[in-house]
Copies of this chain bind each other. A is one copy, B any other.
Amino acid sequence: MRRSAFFVSDGTGITAETLGHSMLSRFGEIEWHQQTLPFIQTIDDAHAAVEQINQRCHEDEQKPVVFSTLVRDDLRAVLASCNALVLDLFSVFIGPMEQELGIRSSHQVGRTHAIRDQEAYFVRINAVHFALDNDDGARTRHYDKADIILVGLSRSGKTPTSLYLALQFGLRAANYPFTEDDFDDTVLPKCLMDHRDKLFGLTLTAERLHAIRSERKANSRYASMRQVEDEIRGIEAIFNRYNIPHLNATDLSIEEISTRILAMTGLKRRLQ
């Protein structure tokens, strides 16, 4: 079964998409044709959006589902006229909130994902550059400034997780790769020993690591089951010896890994 969904927003559309994806995933047997209509900020924009939605309704011969985060009353009124199931975030939640809080909400065009202030901007940008500069063990001398140091085998997800922690939470995440040479004596490198309380380990099952490395270098020693099993045994010995908190990231997305790390370590985000 195939249906259409639209995400309509006066801003980036990210809130509408996030909300919509969450809802659509509950109807997994439907093949969703998805489209985002961002920056709908004028009456003309709203009419153009309605036209596009109605056109799709006509083609599909079925009503699309529309997730809207429009805030301005006049824009929402135009959208409401379209031939679709319109799920309007604003109208559903703002009423009860105004009542509970006893104040009126702002109906300005949405800037949920706008720059909040100069300071938050720098926290975020500096965290991204910190992650880049301290990726893959490139440098170890700035570990005193790190919020967290991810350790794990090659292709265990350290780099994307570091970048996500930076972009989403403003955290300064370094990462350091363990290679087979590190397992000869089950001793932490000195650069890590000095910052043991910041270490967090990522592991994968041998099957998963084999699959990921094979995608990169098929039929190599690097990707072989024997090699990944040896490396996993080695790194687990180090995690156990030094009591390093760690997570098996097999089947977890970058978002899940990152939020689990916060939950497990109690690390406080620098951006809300």
Q: Which residues in A have some Cβ–Cβ distance to B below 8 Å?
A: 3, 11-15, 18-19, 21-23, 25-30, 34, 36, 38-39, 63, 65, 69, 71, 85, 87, 89, 92-94, 96-97, 100-101, 103, 105-107, 110-115, 118, 121-122, 124-125, 128-129, 132, 135, 157, 159-160, 163-164, 167, 211-212, 215, 251-256, 258-260, 263, 272
Contacts and interface: CB of A to CB of B under 8 A. Distances in A.
Contacts of A11: 256
A113 B256 contact: yes
B69 A105 contact: no
Contact of A259 (B14, B93, B103): B14
Contacts of A113: 253, 255-256
Contacts of A124: 160, 254
Nearest to A114: B253
Given A23-B93, A25-B111, A12 B101 contact: no
Contacts of A85: 96-97, 100
B30 A101 contact: yes
B92 A92 contact: yes
A14 B3 contact: no
B129 A26 contact: no
A229 B263 CA distance: 46
Contacts of A36: 259
Contacts of A101: 3, 27, 30, 65
A11, A65, A160: which has the most chain B beta carbons within 10 Å?
A160
Contacts of A26: 71, 94, 97, 105-107
B256 A12 contact: yes
